[in-house]
Chain A
Amino acid sequence: MLRFAFYRLLQAIPVLLIVISLTFLLVHSAPGGPFSADKAVPPEVIKALEAQYNLDQPLWQQYVSYLGDIVQGDFGPSFKYPGRNVSELIAAGLPATAELAFYAMLVALVIGVSAGVAAAMRPNTAQDYIPMSAAMIGICMPSFLLGPLLVLIFGIHLEWLPVSGWGDMPGDKILPAITLGTGYAAYIARLSRGGMLEVLSQDYIRTARAKGLSEPLVIAKHALRGGLIPVVAFLGPAFAGLLGGSFVVETIFQIPGLGRFYVQAAFNRDYTMILGTTVFFATLIIVFNLLSDMLAIWLNPKLRQQARGES
């Protein structure tokens, strides 16, 4: 298991290098320098600025020194927020985004797994059709539509919950978490229904039932572990999706998180910020993919043996 993790980590390094190189090249080949402003700036000023940010060096030198800085966790200065480091900005935005992602995941897992398991227990009955139809609606209702609709209903008309903000008023975290989590709840419901249906037809479940265990106990003690493997394997990609979704949700609810910073950086052409955040996101996504793969393997004895044989 440890060797497998080590092997996978080694594989992640070239992927990260590709991400960094691609992003670096893209950002540096962009038309219009980071300092092109509406006002005419004297050429000496631009020269001085470029020297300050090492932009006057050849590209490969910039690349090498950037790589060196990244290894030390330094993403360089922000172009648009003078005097602030990209690392500082990431550190400032991360807590809100992480909290939002955590709550959204919680919403997705609790609703998704319970709906999926309920559906799998009585397939092709109302207990199956109703949650699964709801899941279909959840998949077809993108967060940028669901969020505003929730705000309209619960924030503006019913006035039950605050319409924006993060941690300023009680309950202002509820709507963003639901908005971001619903789509994933729908996917998880479908995945856990499929996984549970497959497991429930296995021999060891029949054995458990034949022993006289009650149905809830069969589900909780025997079926869940195997039935939820597809869900666990989905968590890695879901996490990547949550980051993307946080762009929208943080913009709608005006949450000071990484996603909103990223979108703003994209509008402002804050190149170092885009570069730094992209590299940071990529690292996170790769790490979470690795974690969810390992969890899935740990849960599934068959895969566990395969991983041992492979490494």
Chain B
Amino acid sequence: MTTVEEQGTSLWRDAWIKLCKNYLALFGLAIILLLCLVSLLTPWIAPYGYEEQNLMLGATSPSAAHWLGTDIFGRDMLTRIMYGGRVSLTVGFIATAVALVIGVLWGAIAGFVGGRVDAVMMRIVDIMYALPFMIFIVLLMVVFGRNILLLFLAIGAVEWLTMARIVRGQVMNLRKQEFVEAAYSLGLSQWTIIHRHIIPNTLGPVIVYTTLTIPSVMLLEAFLSFLGLGIQPPQSSWGLLINYGVETMEEYPWLLIFPGITLSLTLFALNFLGDGLRDALDPRTSKDQ
């Protein structure tokens, strides 16, 4: 007689299967991976040099030699967008990483220690929520000169608040669950409980929210660069390219449209991926649908 063993599927396998059924999210994932790959390889695969000017050529509309046209200095738009993407994506990822580290640590400590520490820490988050951060970032950029490192930190410092709230809620919730109590009564050490039970169960919401933080960070960077308060030339980012595009959009609309499409498509992809991950990783909607 053969025994049929019930194969348990883990949350992660479930999530992956669900994600694979969500074509929009997969499409988003594909675009993000492609963009990251292109950005990494830009110095080798860009069709022209970043500084390469061709003043004789001037602004030309898209052609076989310049797929996305050239700007008024005859610089290849595709190359500029690729190099700009490196900056935009780097800002997006690094600032999100800053927010992730601060937010997760803050929320986890508040949720795990609880009591008065939790009350004080969450009060601080509440107060910071009420501050007009968009204005503070503009202020910071003015005061400290437009330093790209500072841009990462400033944006990261804004975006960690929601992450802290989510992690705290999740940790508080988990501490009251029966399986954690069971682990305690079995005599497991605090550390074992944290890394066997708390961390894996908090990971889902953290991943989802991280995916959704990246687009909002990139948007903030583009916003600042558009106002001329973010990335400074000779570096460029998508926000800065859009800013230049606006100046000349009457004569050369492609200088606005191509960076605009690139930025929107990226935000689109990240948002769809984030939504898809939320559907896939939310334990309340897994399995039973």
Q: A240-B134, A243-B132, A266-B138 are in contact. Are A29 and B143 (CB under 8 A)?
A: yes
A282 to B128, CA, bound (A): 12
Interface: A241 (CB within 8 A): yes
Bin the interface of chain A by size: 35 or more
Q: Is the CB of B127 within 8 A of A18?
A: yes
Tell me the A237-279 residues at the B interface (CB within 8 Å): 240-241, 243-244, 247-248, 251-252, 262-263, 266-267, 269, 274, 277-278
Residues of A within 8 A of B245 (CB): 148
Tell me the bound Cα distance from A193 to B142 in angstroms: 40
Interface of A is mostly: helix
Range, interface on chain B: 35 or more
Tell me which residues from 132 to 187 in chain B have a Cβ below 8 Å from any Cβ of chain A.
132, 134-136, 138-145
Q: A148-B245, A281-B132 are in contact. Are A139 and B271 (CB under 8 A)?
A: yes
B264 interface hit (Cβ, 8 Å): yes
* Docked-complex contact A274 and B145, CB < 8 angstroms: no
Checking B132, B138, B239, B271 against A282 with a beta-carbon cut-off of 8 angstroms, the contacting residue is: B132
Does any Cβ of B come within 8 Å of A27's Cβ? yes
- A15 B127 Cβ-Cβ under 8 A: yes
| Inter-subunit contact A145/B264 (CB<8 Å) | yes
Give the number of A-B contacts (CB < 8 Å): 115
In-complex Cβ contact of A278 among B132, B227, B250, B272 (8 A):
B132
Q: Which residues does A use to contact B, with CB under 8 Å?
A: 12, 14-15, 18-19, 22-23, 26-27, 29-31, 136-137, 139-142, 144-145, 148-149, 151-152, 156, 240-241, 243-244, 247-248, 251-252, 262-263, 266-267, 269, 274, 277-278, 281-282, 285-286, 289
30 pairs, A vs B, C-beta closer than 8 Å: A12-B130, A15-B127, A15-B130, A18-B127, A19-B132, A27-B139, A29-B143, A140-B264, A140-B271, A142-B223, A142-B263, A144-B226, A144-B242, A145-B256, A145-B260, A148-B249, A149-B260, A152-B253, A152-B256, A156-B249, A244-B134, A247-B138, A248-B226, A262-B135, A266-B138, A266-B229, A269-B142, A274-B142, A278-B135, A285-B132
